[in-house]
Amino acid sequence: MKNITVIGAGTMGNGIAHTFAQSGFNVSLVDISQENIDRGLGTISKNLDRMIAKEKITEADKNETLSNISTFTDLKSGVEKADLIVEAATENVDLKLKIFGQMDEFAPADCILSTNTSSISITQIASVTKRPEKVIGMHFMNPVPIMKLVEIIRGYSTSDEVTTTIMELSKQLGKTPTEVNDYPGFVANRILMPMINEAIETLYNGVAGVQEIDTVMKLGMAHPMGPLQLADFIGLDVCLSILNVMHDGFKNPKYAPCPLLVNMVMAGKKGVKSGEGFYDYSESRKAEKVSASFK
């Protein structure tokens, strides 16, 4: 397995492309927008510069990594030689089903189709293809080049051979793959999102302020980042989407998103990506200043 196609040049997509390219794979980075591709390549270049500054890689390593990446705005051209495709588009089920239908049509018959979804059913995604045994979840963590975990999710029809191949491939990337089964939220978000949602409920109910909630979890529970800061980092729109998938999937009210989260997303307050969430990021990407809405 040498040729990897990554669909989507956003935060997760460019991180996945970076990781594969740095490990010596030929990477095709596909996005419908050339602007998104250019922004993604810029992010990869900056992240490699940070690694050079920390003396983890050399300038030659950076150049080699970038030379391993080719870009496409046409999906058919981007997947026609792929051994593995990693879809990392927006966390929207209709969009993913459309992309997987196209991937299945255009990719080689022996190509494995994977998705970086953090909550959507692998079995549902596989159902729109003619190769459900070759469809699997590869849920990378953000930031991809740094975080070691890859959640490997088997759909109902995913073969043992494909699962073993992807587990071994993840190890080649220096990651720690962990196999889980296909239920809404898998493991990571089934546990994480209710915690984040409860932190938002705690704020919503006036129990404590933003910094106080995060301080309790950081100092009391040894979390490196408080849940509200983490929600901003993930993206409040992404958190809302995952909670909705889990709520729809389990029909359990404990997964219902807090009204405050719903309102913030509708108001465009999505966290770091929008410049404001629970914290104000207008001056710094660090969570140092609480949003005026919560003072």
Catalytic residue (one of 114, 139, 170, 276): 139
Catalytic residue (one of 118, 121, 197, 241): 118
Q: Is 9 annotated in some ligand binding site? A: yes
Q: CA 170, CA 148: separation in Å to the nearest integer?
A: 10
- Residues, the chain, total? 295
Q: Is 105 annotated in some ligand binding site? A: no
Q: Give which of 27, 1, 32 is closest to 14, Cα–Cα.
A: 27
Q: Is 11 annotated in some ligand binding site? A: yes
Q: Is 129 annotated in some ligand binding site? A: no
Q: Is 31 annotated in some ligand binding site? A: yes
Tokens (6 digits) for 141: 């963590």
Catalytic residue (one of 116, 189, 197, 291): 189
Provide the total of helices (H) and of strands (E) in the chain, helices listed first.
13, 8
Q: CA 104, CA 132: separation in Å to the nearest integer?
A: 10
Tokens (6 digits) for 202: 């705690």
Q: Is 12 annotated in some ligand binding site? A: yes
Phi, psi of 95, rounded to the nearest 5 degrees = -65, -45
**Eight-class DSSP state of 251:** -
Q: Is 121 annotated in some ligand binding site? A: no
Q: Is 91 annotated in some ligand binding site? A: yes
Provide the residue type at 30 as one letter: V
Catalytic residue (one of 121, 151, 241, 276): 151
**Contacts for 266-275: CB closer than 8 Å, 24+ residues apart:** 269/236, 269/293, 270/235, 270/236, 270/237, 271/231, 271/232, 271/233, 271/234, 271/235, 271/236, 272/232, 272/233, 272/235, 273/235
**151 part of the active site:** yes
Q: Is 273 annotated in some ligand binding site? A: yes
**118 part of the active site:** yes
Q: CA 232, CA 280: separation in Å to the nearest integer?
A: 10
Q: Is 1 annotated in some ligand binding site? A: no
Binding residues for NAD(+): 8-13, 31, 91, 96, 118, 142, 273
Binding residues: 8-13, 31, 91, 96, 118, 142, 273
Q: Which residues are catalytic?
A: 118, 139, 151, 189
